[in-house]
Amino acid sequence: MSQIISITALASISPLGNDPRTIWEMYKNNNHCFTAHFLDHKNTFVAKLNEDSIAIIEALKQSDSKYKSLDKSVLYAMAASRVAMHEAGWTSKDVFGINIGSSRGATDLFEKHFQDYLETGKAQTLASPTTTLGNISSWVAHDLQSAGPEISHSITCSTALHAVLNGVAWLRAGMADKFLVGGSEAPLTDFTIGQMRALKIYSNIDERQPELAEWPNRALDLEKKQNTMILGEGAAVCCLEIGKKENALAYITGIGYATELLEHNISISAEATCFQKSMLMALENTPIAAVDAIVMHAPGTIKGDITEYKAIEKLFGESLPLLTTNKWKIGHTFGASGILSMELAVLMLQHNMFIDVPFIAPQKQTKPIKNVLVNAVGFGGNAVSVLLSL
């Protein structure tokens, strides 16, 4: 990479909470955030925001009459962005870009508006403006009173890391000095879960299976016999600035991306060629052996987990780093998942502590954590890898 990018703030709102200290404590505990959700006469696990975070979102919603009609995905992004901007020391006088994406956009609100249309034959006045994907970044820009470019996009589950790529590109091109990037998702609706069930990738483990329900999402368990993906909700954003800043939490020292040649709509090759290419690109200026840990995409599906592992194994060989993921704890947050994985990576760098997955063979940290690779991939085989360093 031609120039280092500083992460001067990273803020989130997720099932882990919204305070970095609380989030870190949650990561150190071997507990997941899943609760039972009733759907189609089945107990289905999902990962919801905790009560404190729900209260923050409700207060935000009530703070302005215009915010009452916004989808949760927009409100989540606004809440995280307010904190990130404050922590980075940015003000409305600063010119900064915004790129916050989402896999599904205004999921909950769209489904409600569409159901209302099916029942009445009429669409409500705000149905279109409050359900467009672009309203995530535009409302964040309005709330922060920013004057820079604002972009929303959807590249399925790698959306947030594509926002990071875009922010880095703007900064390196000299078109901006600061960029707020991230992802937001509120997918805990019956129809969305129904879609995942139709793909046969949603976890069938429920609270009636006590021997399995302790870990209903078995992400990184390469011996599992069934798919165990579970959905979660939340948003995260980070403030990017060009150059090496004194207040940086970590630095982006490598970025990579690649697209899989698909055999069908959701396919990925046996050794995830897209991940091999994206990781290799991100490590262009970094020795393979220098990578201390990888926060994997690892959604908890049989094929998704094992193909990514094989890609890592193929690339790193005997220099296999420590491997982890956060989806066993907070589920798959679709478009927000990559930036929430970056949050875990930054926390491990700051605390020099590896967070293991509790139901696989323990991995021992034998050296300081200085370089962490973060992976994400979505339907369409759009892989992204970001190398974070101290």
| Whether residues 235 and 260 fall in one domain | no
Last residue of a domain, one of 242, 265, 294: 242
* Rounded Cα–Cα distance for residues 352 and 335 (Å): 27
Is 261 found in the same domain as 170? no
Tens-place pLDDT, residues 87-146: 999 998 999 999 999 999 999 999 999 999 999 999 999 999 999 988 999 999 999 999
- What DSSP element (H or E) covers 34? strand 34-39
The stretches of the chain forming alpha helices (DSSP H) are 20-28, 51-62, 72-88, 107-120, 135-144, 159-172, 190-198, 210-213, 273-282, 302-316, 327-330, 337-351
Q: Which of 189, 216, 242 is the last residue of a domain?
A: 242
Supply the CATH number for residue 161's domain. Answer: 3.40.47.10
**Closest-CA residue to 47 (of 299, 355, 274, 277):** 299
Rounded CA separation 48/103 (Å):
17
Residues 92 and 218 in one domain: yes
CA 271 vs CA 237, 314, 375: distances in Å: 30, 8, 14
Label the pairing between strands 150-151 and 97-101: parallel
Looking at the structure, tell me whether residues 84 and 232 fall in a common domain.
yes
Q: Are 246 and 230 in contact (CB under 8 A)?
A: no
Total structural domains within the chain: 2
CB 186 within 8 A of CB 233: yes
Distance (Å, rounded) from C-alpha 151 to C-alpha 278?
Answer: 23
**Encoded amino acid at 206, one letter:** D
Has residue 126 been placed in a domain? Answer: yes
259 within some domain:
yes
- Residues 191, 262: one domain? no
Q: Does residue 247 lie in a domain region? A: no
How confident is the prediction along the chain (390 residues), in pLDDT tens digits per residue? 468 999 999 999 999 999 999 999 999 999 999 998 766 656 789 999 999 999 999 999 999 999 999 999 999 999 999 999 999 999 989 999 999 999 999 999 999 999 999 999 999 999 999 999 889 999 999 999 999 999 999 999 999 999 999 999 999 999 999 999 999 999 999 999 999 999 999 998 877 777 778 999 999 999 999 999 999 999 999 999 999 999 999 999 999 999 986 664 455 666 678 999 999 999 999 999 999 999 999 999 999 999 999 999 999 998 899 999 999 999 999 999 999 999 999 999 999 999 999 999 999 999 999 999 999 998 777 999 999 999
Query: What pairing do the DSSP bridges indicate for beta strands 293-295 and 322-324?
Result: parallel
Residues 236 and 261 in one domain: no
235 and 269 housed in the same domain: no
Length of the chain, please?
Answer: 390
Q: For residue 287, what are the domain limits?
A: 254-389
Is 260 contained in some domain? yes
Is residue 249 one of the residues assigned to a domain? no
Instruction: Please state, in angstroms and rounded to a whole number, the distance separating the CA atoms of residues 337 and 160.
Output: 7
The reply to whether 136 and 34 lie within a common domain is yes
Same domain flag for 56 and 157: yes
C-alpha span between 184 and 75 (Å, rounded): 9
Neighbours of 54 (CB within 10 A): 13
Instruction: State whether 383 and 277 are in the same domain.
Output: yes
Identify the pLDDT of residue 265. 47
Domain contains 67: yes
> Does residue 104 lie within any of the structural domains?
yes
Which pLDDT belongs to residue 263? Answer: 60
Spatial distance between the Cα atoms of 202 and 193, rounded to a whole number of angstroms? 8
55 plus 191 within the same structural domain? yes
Q: Minimal CA–CA distance to 184: which of 85, 384, 49?
A: 49
DSSP codes, 364-384: ---S---EEEEEE--TTTEEE
In a domain, 21, yes or no: yes
CA nearest to 140, candidates 198, 179, 188, 89: 179
* Beta carbons of 386 and 373 less than 8 angstroms apart: yes
- Cβ(33)–Cβ(16) below 8 Å: yes
Torsion of CA 107, 53, 153, 82, to 10 degrees: 140
